[in-house]
Structure 1
Amino acid sequence: MTDDDNNGLEGVVAAHTVLSEVDGAAGRLVLRGHALDDIAGRWRYEDMLALLWQDFFAQLPSAPELALALGRARTDVAALLRADDHAMLSALTPLEAMRALLARVPDGDDLPTALRLVAAPVVFTAAVLRWKAGEPALVPEPEASHAADFLRMVSGRPATWAQAAALDAYLVTVADHGLNASTFAARVVASTGAGLASAVLAGLSALKGPLHGGAPGPVLDMLDAIGHADAAAHWLEAALDRGERLMGFGHRIYRVRDPRADALKKALRQLAQAGGVEAGRVALAEAVERTALASLQARKPGRVLETNVEFYTALLLEAVGLPREAFTAVFAAGRVGGWVAHAREQVQRGRLIRPQSVYVGPAPAAATRVAEPAAV
């Protein structure tokens, strides 16, 4: 293997898409003609689905009608739960249990299938969290918004307007982000004609990896370990001395600040203004962010290591009452709308994805004759 091998496929164009543009140099994310800054905190997740899915389904309803259809889909998906699921699945992680349950959604390429696949992460993750807490799963309320119903099914209490708005901001922010690993996996499977459920399961399996969707929780572990703002500098410097990565900083694509971090920081501040976040927690996070950025700049002046989406994701999801062990499953609840859109785009406009590989193994050896067994 040579040094110029591109095993990460940087710079390789594998799809042309109308769905999102990730401009790493400018720190900009465009979602089907809309800058993230213009919609995060203003749109519900149902509005984002209507945007991403336009042209991919015949007679796609308006956003309000789509919201009602999604509510009915949550009820449909809840009917897939069985009486013995608690005993069978509660020992698994929330993501693994949700993945097993999502496999019950039949494959298909129509709008009802797409809606059930978007409903599934919310319904199933909430059920698993309830089981782990020793409580029964709650049935959906189809008239509620997607974000509000999710939070109610987890906590057993109606979500406040501010909590639902904060979760909507998160789901919108992470709905799509170019040809990331999980989205590419979904497109590869969709290109075979396997169906939407298979494509979404592929995306979910890729998201499980800690290099993609598994990092927000450790941000909270870092904040808990630091404890107080005045301890941030000492703790962070010691971590860097040990060669540890500071969770929530740096991104493979963005050469400047991740725009999703700013969108979620704004949503967190709005939630704090409504009394939905402990003031000391926000102050600690902002102190850690400032100190970490200064330390990284001083130690690694040649590298761009800005705040990424993981940092404020962790704080926002914690603030709305979601446990850190479920953060990757919640990420999937937002990204699934993008996976469905990319899968449909691939089927409509693409072809079977079949890249070329370069063989670097040993040359063929001369064949040797295998000795025949002795006659008995």
Structure 2
Amino acid sequence: MDTTVDVPRGLAGVVVTETGLGDVRGREGFYHYRQYSAVELAERRSFEDVWHLMFRGTLPADAAEQAAFAAETVPLRRLPAEVRDALPALARATALSGPLAGLRTALSLLGASAGFRPVYDLDPQRRAADALAACAAVPTLLTALHRLGQGLEPVEPRDDLPYAANYLYMLSGREPDPVRVRAVEQYLISTVDHGFNASTFTARVIASTGADVAACLTGAIGALSGPLHGGAPSRALDTLDAIGTADRIDSWIRERVLAGDRIMGFGHPVYRTEDPRSRMLRGIALRFGGPLVDFAVEVEQQVEAILAELKPGRELHTNVEFYAGVVMELCGLPREMFTPTFCAARVVGWSANVLEQAADSKIIRPAARYVGPPPPRPVPLPAWVRSAW
């Protein structure tokens, strides 16, 4: 009996499980983490508070609970000696591909050295401990790989700095500016989770096999590295560079749209209205001000007008990558670290999804419809055998 069911390409709109972690309501331009608006969380809370929410189910009840969670995570920032010693060679090996490629190997090594075991064999507390350790180590791994790739020594994490400030400190080696720290922290919070995107789904598929946390996160990083997923912030900024001046916006965009090219930073597979993350990041960019922000706003306005003219009814607006690139540029992050910075936030959402999936031991195993030549066909004998007969 055939029990297969045809679904849209890419599983668009197909519900594959239930989750208590959050949701994206694309027609409303709204998304949330558990019961809270993600944008409001970015405006009012710290990254650690949101991390606590995703892992423990609630925001910290008071300063004592907040401090206790920080006390758990801070020591986990420091890398085991065997991982730290391997990073120079890893940075050399990934010199052309960058820190995100290096992170795949480094995180796998971290899991192996820490003795991460398959989530199928662990109780919920041990799974959560492994996930917490992986999340805490990711910023240290990313910044160390970046600095080694630049011929610089890694900067050890500081116990007195929160997550976002410590990330910027390890990246630059300088005391981070509070204004830039808060801007990056708001970006990090806004990208912790976003429904069943490609990388989150990848993490859950691997978790459904019972694999260890590092394996789940490594697979998610691989999915994130694609330019159609997390690889777009620097490309959106590259678009601004390619346009160059305001008088070239119209001709440059029209030429690309008519050629069928994708305009990086515009359009989203879920939102049918303005991306709320883009709206928030535009506000952050406007607080900085300056020529780059003015130009980005003008490009946004003209591109949306051109897309409305040439693709009527499509509702194509800026997505998170457009102003994320602008904000990270203004905060001094190198472009090769834009997507890794996204990863430093999303690893928390991936891990929360891994823990949720691990509580359900049903393996994710969809089907495919075969469309090749009709089987079975006789297997031909090799020519030399036929001639010998």
- With normalisation by structure 2, the TM-score equals 0.86
- Among candidates 334, 346, 349, match of residue 345 of structure 2: 334
Choose 250-259 or 82-91, whichever is displaced more. Answer: 82-91
Matched, 1:102 2:119: no
Which one-letter code corresponds to 1:223 in the other structure? L
* Structure 1 residue ranges, 4+ long, deviating more than 6 angstroms after superposition: 371-375
Contact kept? 1:75, 1:142, Cα under 8 Å: no
Task: Report how far residue 357 of structure 1 moved.
Answer: 2.7
Question: How big is each residue's C-alpha offset from its partner over 1:55-93, in whole Å with a ceiling of 9 and x where there is no partner?
Answer: 59xxxx933322232221111357721164344443431
% identical aligned pairs: 38
- Secondary structure in 2 aligned to 1:80? helix
Q: Structure 1 or 2: larger helix share?
A: 2
> Structure 2: which 5+ residue stretches go unaligned?
1-5, 59-63, 118-125
Structure-2 change in CA distance of 1:238 and 1:52 (3 Å): same
Instruction: Please say if 1:313 is aligned against 2:316.
Output: no
Q: Is the 8 A contact 2:34 2:57 kept in 1?
A: no
Q: Cα 1:90–1:230, aligned 2, differ >3 Å: closer, same or farther?
A: same
For 1:18, which of 17, 20, 23 is the aligned residue?
20
Q: CA RMSD in A?
A: 2.4
Deviations 1:160-207 (A, max 9, x none): 111111111111111001111111110011111112111111111111
Per-residue CA deviation, residues 244-299 of structure 1 (Å, 9 max, x unaligned), is 322211111111111111122223334x1xxxxx6111111111111111111111
What does the per-residue CA deviation read over 1:315-348, in whole Å, with 9 as the maximum and x for residues that have no partner? 1111222111222211111111011101110111
Residue 72 in structure 1 maps to residue 75 in structure 2: yes
SS in 2 for 1:141: coil
CA distance in 2, matches of 1:128, 1:368: 51
Counterpart of 2:372? 361
Structure 1 partner of 2:61: none
2:39 maps to 37
Q: Which amino acid is the alignment partner of residue 351 of structure 2?
A: V
Q: Does 1:351 align with 2:356?
A: no
Structure 1 regions of 5+ residues with no counterpart?
273-277
Pairing 1:168-187 to 2, within 5 Å after superposition: 168-187=185-204
Q: 1:353, 1:134 → 2: CA distance?
A: 43
- Mark the CA change 1:359 to 1:243 in structure 2 (over 3 Å): closer, same or farther: closer
Aligned residue number for residue 242 of structure 2: 225
Q: Counterpart in 2 of 1:159?
A: 176
- Residue matched to 1:195: 212
> Across the two proteins, how many residue pairs are aligned to each other?
362
1:44 and 1:363, CA in 2 relative to 1: closer, same or farther beyond 3 A? Answer: same
Distance between the aligned counterparts of 1:207 and 1:349, measured in 2?
24
Alignment of 1:193-272 (within 5 A): 193-270=210-287, 272=288
| 2:315 match | 304
Q: The residue matched to 1:8 in structure 2 has which SS?
A: helix
What is the alpha-carbon distance in structure 1 between the residues aligned to residue 377 and residue 171 of structure 2? 63
Alpha-carbon offset, residue 305 of structure 1: 0.4
Cα distance change of structure 1 residues 208 and 268 upon mapping to structure 2, 3 Å threshold: same
- The amino acid that maps onto 1:342 is N
